[in-house]
Amino acid sequence: MYDCIIVGGGIAGLQASIQLGRYRRKTLVIDRGDGRSTLCRNYHNVLGYPEGVSGETLRALGRRQAQGYGVEFAEGDATKAEKYEAGFLITCETEQSLPTAYEGKTLLIATGVMDRLPDLPGLRGCLGLTVFICPDCDGYETRDKRTLVLGSGNAGAKMALALTYFCNELIFVNHERKPVDASLAEKLRNAGIRTVDAAIERVLTEGEETLGRFRGVALAAGETLEAERAFVAFGGNEVRTDLAKQLHVERMETKHIVTDPRTKMTSVPGVWAAGDVGVHSEQLVIAMGEGLQSAIWMHKWLLSREKASEGAPPTPAHSLVGAGKP
């Protein structure tokens, strides 16, 4: 049995695994390998990387660091979670083998959120380089540059309005031609943002597609819109909290997991959540911090139970704040 099972090998899960490994906790990370961090080719706002760093680079470094502390990894999709007296049973499925079940005393859900992206040729190769998702992270990259918002309905309209802080030359391409609320449409007009209700056929790039140099889009009707940068905003992002639902963990209407702000433990004892699955701001460094925060409290919780099994009275979880500090 593992001390800790982490579902999700992205930024939050990896940071948690490193800390748990340093506690010498027997830890397993189950990774499906398709989260947000696999798509972003350059995070620009991370301390220590003035030229940016890709999600894949951070994932590779994080996995190597965790493995150096004895953390184990399993590739696959954790599809089932069950709670029993000793802990949790997580069933993991892969395409190559029969489902495998893993037992753990504690569980961290770090499965993240996946953006709804249309299958447009050329789009994914530009993500994080010249096409972006988060205006707080990358709105700066649009300064003084002609920018397209590739989106749908209200989600796309709101993104376009948010970007007016950084740039003045904006076009909103309503790819799915979903209606925009009258109040938002008026704000777009007042801001001088052109709206094009048309399907996008493909993303245009300069040079080799792998370089990710966005230069516009070709519309299905034949028109071409040229630009230097783009943001995507289609709404309906997938919040990956099915395991939490199976364990009857409290979730919001948006499906995000509710956690204690100090410990990141959920409403179910022994279950934690970190990163974008929680009430979040969708920032890499916050996911990293929550992963570390969760790991610290998972260790404290296990330590308290271990002391109780040895005959010492268990320490209430709420009183463990600052434990070990003078």
Residue 321 lies in a domain: no
Indicate whether 254 and 159 sit together in one domain.
Answer: no
pLDDT surpasses 50 at 323: no
Could you tell me which of 115, 134, 164 has the C-alpha nearest to residue 46?
134
Residue 273 lies in a domain: yes
Indicate whether 189 and 164 sit together in one domain.
Answer: yes
pLDDT tens-digit map of 61-75: 999 999 999 999 999
pLDDT surpasses 80 at 40: yes
Indicate whether 207 and 269 sit together in one domain.
Answer: no
Whether 116 and 233 have beta carbons less than 8 Å apart is answered as no
Indicate whether 206 and 260 sit together in one domain.
Answer: no
Average pLDDT over residues 251-265: 96
Average pLDDT over residues 100-128: 94
Look at residue 97 in the predicted model and tell me its pLDDT: 78
Residue 326 lies in a domain: no
Indicate whether 99 and 245 sit together in one domain.
Answer: yes
Indicate whether 228 and 253 sit together in one domain.
Answer: no
Residue 319 lies in a domain: no
Look at residue 316 in the predicted model and tell me its pLDDT: 57
Q: Which of 178, 209, 233 is the last residue of a domain?
A: 233
Look at residue 326 in the predicted model and tell me its pLDDT: 29
pLDDT surpasses 90 at 157: yes
CB-based burial of residue 178 (10 Å sphere; 0-12 exposed, 13-18 middle, 19+ buried)?
middle
Residues pairing with 149 in the sheet? 172, 231
Residue 52 lies in a domain: yes
Average pLDDT over residues 170-180: 97
pTM of this prediction?
0.90
pLDDT tens-digit map of 15-24: 999 999 999 9
Residue 317 lies in a domain: no
Indicate whether 226 and 79 sit together in one domain.
Answer: no
Average pLDDT over residues 263-267: 97
pLDDT > 70 in the chain, percent = 95
pLDDT surpasses 70 at 218: yes
Indicate whether 152 and 168 sit together in one domain.
Answer: yes
Residue 212 lies in a domain: yes
Q: 47 lies in which domain range?
A: 2-114+237-310
Q: How confident is the model at residue 193 (pLDDT cuts 50, 70, 90)?
A: very high
Indicate whether 213 and 142 sit together in one domain.
Answer: yes
pLDDT surpasses 50 at 325: no
pLDDT surpasses 60 at 276: yes
C-alpha distances (whole Å) from 262 to each of 10, 109, 266, 290, 292 are 21, 16, 11, 10, 12
Indicate whether 87 and 171 sit together in one domain.
Answer: no
The H or E element that residue 195 is part of is strand 194-196
Indicate whether 107 and 249 sit together in one domain.
Answer: yes
Could you tell me which of 294, 291, 310, 309 has the C-alpha nearest to residue 37?
291
Q: How confident is the model at residue 208 (pLDDT cuts 50, 70, 90)?
A: confident
The C-alpha atoms of residue 242 and residue 251 are separated, in whole angstroms, by 10
Look at residue 98 in the predicted model and tell me its pLDDT: 84
Percent helix, strand and coil across the chain, each to the nearest 5: 30, 25, 40
Q: Which of 171, 203, 233 is the last residue of a domain?
A: 233
DSSP 65: H
Average pLDDT over the chain, rounded to an integer: 93
Residues pairing with 151 in the sheet? 174, 233
CATH of the domain at 218: 3.50.50.60
Please state the domain count of the chain: 2
Indicate whether 179 and 260 sit together in one domain.
Answer: no
Whether 278 and 252 have beta carbons less than 8 Å apart is answered as no
Q: Which of 169, 198, 233 is the last residue of a domain?
A: 233
Q: How confident is the model at residue 279 (pLDDT cuts 50, 70, 90)?
A: confident
Residue 119 lies in a domain: no
